[in-house]
Amino acid sequence: MNVVIIGCGVVGAAIAYELSLVKGLKITVCDRQPPAQASTGAALGVLMGAISQKIKGKAWQMRQTSIQRYETLIPELEALTGRKIPFNRQGILMLLSDSHLKAGQEGISAWEKLVEIRHSQGWHLEIWDTAKLKNICPQINHEKITGAVYSPQDRQLDPIALTLALVEAAQQNGVTFKFGVAVLDAPISTLESSPQLCTQLETTEGKIAADWFVIAAGLGSTALTAKLNQMIDIRPVLGQALQLRLGYLLGNPDFQPAITGNDVHIVPVGSTDYWVGATVEFPSDGNESSPLRGFPPLKELANPEGEILPNQELLEALREQAIAFCPELATATILCTWSGLRPRPEGRPAPVIGKLPGFSNVLLATGHYRNGVLLAPATAYAIREMIISHEVGS
């Protein structure tokens, strides 16, 4: 049975690898770019599972599945490919401030409740007071920090290294990758069937026929689904980040968790470098809250084609927030800055996983917004189950 996956960011690559473990599937992956270029190439890889406020239903199950899978997936891929995938097992530390309490959203009592819920689910969270925080992480020095929540089982990884390892491992398992190949059209079967079938793609490298098509193309999914007359509206939200070099490790050299507060991440990435990210920049003045708002409506910053231009003021505000948490970062050198576009579904929750409406053999695995790296393993499981259960049942 032939499966074609369109898109080779972390989600497409994870699906390709997971399907390559299933006997009897012939898998082809197409992408108009090399792997890990778009959203994946800009991501920070902070895997907020147990520390997230999602406590039930699909949103929590997918997080739990992914966090558990990464514990086996990373060593599995490293053994298969010989590649090293930077994987920070020292957890995530979330800083709590007065604003959490004033807003009435995430006061300590809400976190205490989450600690209890996670404990009942088999996960561990710790609430630290300011004394414990200062003792364990002396680099954090901000008068408004009232404590922290530490999640030792959450992780951070390098999304590009992960994606390249997934591609190489999938290739070893027989998956064909076609990079620099764009989809031109997706003709619909003329059979009077309901639901309809898509039998082949027309690409810049000719026609590709398959039994199943998986659209994992992030922002490119909108145009692809439009060709099938079932447009899934996915819109870009820009994020900027920077890499700082300090010259020494912050705090305790033996304890370097990812630190997050006010939606700003400070991520140790080897040697004495730290990633800091990420802004949340909408193409127009969207209604989502961002910690770095208060600047002109972003529609004023878009060019005539509607592309979102990175806002330098927001990037500087991001850096200043990181310095406010860890004042020593003020002396760090900026090595580089970058930006990427996150795929956010319009008018529906992220991500979009399931059959394309009206089609029996076109699956969607797209629109992960800010959680593509986190949810990639669970998404791959979900797609695998849809294909296997359909084949077994037919």
Question: 14 near 380, Cβ under 8 Å?
Answer: yes
- The per-residue DSSP string of 162-191 comes to HHHHHHHHHHHTT-EEEET--EEE-PBP-S
Nearest CA to 291 among 8, 55, 146, 99?
99
Gap between the Cα atoms of 297 and 285, Å rounded: 5
- Tallying the residues shown for the chain, one arrives at 394
Rounded to 5, what percent of the chain is helix, strand, coil?
A: 35, 25, 40
Tell me how far apart the alpha carbons of residues 330 and 320 are, in angstroms, rounded to a whole number.
8
In the chain, what percentage of residues exceed pLDDT 90? 85
State the pLDDT at residue 74. Answer: 98
Distance CA(365)–CA(379), nearest Å, equals 7
Q: What is the pLDDT of residue 296?
A: 36
- pTM of the predicted structure, to 2 decimals: 0.93
Q: What is the pLDDT of residues 31-90, one digit of tens each?
A: 999 999 999 999 999 999 999 999 999 999 999 999 999 999 999 999 999 999 999 999
Tell me what pLDDT residue 370 has: 96
Domains of the chain: 1-88+156-233+346-394 (3.50.50.60)
The per-residue pLDDT for 274 is 98
Tens digits of per-residue pLDDT, 307-318? 789 999 999 999
> How large is the average pLDDT for residues 179-196?
84
Residue 31 CA to its chain's centroid (Å): 18
For residues 353 and 296, the answer to whether their CB atoms sit within 8 Å is no
- CA nearest to 49, candidates 106, 116, 143, 123: 123
116: confidence class by pLDDT, cuts 50, 70, 90: very high
